[in-house]
Amino acid sequence: MGDFSFSEMLVIILVIVVLFGPKKIPEMARELGRGVRKMRGAMEDIKTEILKDADNPVSEIKKEIEEVKKSVKDINPMKNIKKEITEIQNFNAKIEEKQQQIESHLQDDHEGPVSR
């Protein structure tokens, strides 16, 4: 649009003068100026809305990330693993104790006098 030569601009101005007359040109220029200002204002409003809408998801994502970080801090997998290992060791100790009881009981039954 800004690449018009001087002769092209002159032809456009002449066509406008011929079509609308010299008295209408100032009024048309004012209307054109108002239209351009309204369009710029509308573009700024649209730009503001787009930026506001674009900013909200980012802030929501940041909030979600912070919540995940907080919940991860509460989870300590090593603590759970240590607890499981302790429970397994206790269970194994009980099994060994039962095995020893059974073995001693079986030995007690076979130690008496043998009758033939």
3-state secondary structure of 57: helix
CA 96 – CA 74 distance, rounded (Å) = 36
Q: Which amino acid is at 42?
A: A
Question: What is the reported pLDDT for 113?
Answer: 58
Residue 25 and residue 15 in contact, taking contact as beta carbons nearer than 8 Å: no
Separation CA 15–CA 3 (nearest Å): 19
The confidence score (pLDDT) of residue 40 equals 92
Give 112 or 5, the one with higher predicted confidence: 5
Predicted confidence (pLDDT) per residue in 10-64, tens digit: 888 888 888 888 888 888 888 888 989 999 999 998 888 877 766 666 677 788 8
| pLDDT, position 56 | 67
pLDDT of residue 32: 85
Please state at what angle helix 6-20 crosses helix 25-74, rounded to 10 degrees: 120
What is the pLDDT of the chain when averaged over all its residues? 80
